[in-house]
Amino acid sequence: MSKTCPKCGEDLPDDAHFCGNCGYDFFKKDTASKSNSGFDGKIFLAIIVIVAIIVVGIFFAIGSGGNNSTNDNADVSEVDLTITEVNGYTSSSANPQSYSLYTQALFNKVPSDLKGYNVRTTYLDANGTEIGFETETLSNIYYDSDYSLSFGYYTTYKKPNPDHVTVEIIKDGKTIDNFTQKIDQGKIKFLN
């Protein structure tokens, strides 16, 4: 068997380390070849690492989006209340006379951080037409109590005839839950 010099084409014995014609070093070629192969391997490894970083970044970006919507769903259960009654009063000393409505509720569950939470209390008549509403921050309404808290004070100069109330829990501008209660008109003095 013989091998051929890649530089000049001379036929050489298999165990030749150098080409007798041009001086080509067979070991240097193998070292260079291994070096190039190592370099190519490093480039290939670098490409794999970059692609992996991009894929992981996309995964976390998509995962974060999913977690936000999960958190939005979790917000729904962070506020729970029971409307206990809707009451009202008049200001008989004022001219013209004004009528005020307010809602009382037990807050069964609230988030530890009240930031970004609002409460919109809407009073509606029997036809579902809005009489009026009041929007307040949850932090202004809520304090730790075993008793019903009053909120949603709405005042008008036209005698209202409320049928039901809706209390919306709003987080960062988005309604996450609402509670509706029929109003016992017998409890509102100016209606009797």
- pLDDT category at 24 given cuts 50, 70, 90 is confident
- pLDDT category at 59 given cuts 50, 70, 90 is confident
Lowest mean pLDDT, pick from 50-59, 78-87, 104-113, 124-133 = 50-59
More confident residue, 23 or 139: 139
Q: What is the mean pLDDT of residues 55-83?
A: 64
Q: How many helices (H) and strands (E) does the chain have?
A: 2, 9
The CATH number assigned to the domain holding 173 equals 2.60.40
Q: Of 155, 141, 150, 144, give the one whose Cα is nearest residue 190.
A: 155
Q: Of 181, 190, 188, 122, give the one whose Cα is nearest residue 158.
A: 190
pTM of the model: 0.59
Both 66 and 84 in one domain: the answer is: no
Tell whether the model's pLDDT for residue 103 goes beyond 90.
Answer: yes
Boundary (domain end) residue, out of 47, 75, 103: 75
Q: For residue 177, how many other CB atoms are within 10 A of its CB? A: 16
Both 55 and 139 in one domain: the answer is: no
Sheet of 117-124: strand order equals 130-137, 117-124, 164-171, 174-182
Spatial distance between the Cα atoms of 49 and 54, rounded to a whole number of angstroms: 9
Both 85 and 169 in one domain: the answer is: yes
Contact 118, 135 (CB under 8 A): yes
pLDDT digits 0-9 by tens, 112-128: 899 999 999 999 999 99
Both 89 and 63 in one domain: the answer is: no
The count of domains in the chain is: 2
Residue 34: which domain range? 2-75
- pLDDT category at 102 given cuts 50, 70, 90 is very high
Tell whether the model's pLDDT for residue 30 goes beyond 80.
Answer: no
Both 113 and 138 in one domain: the answer is: yes
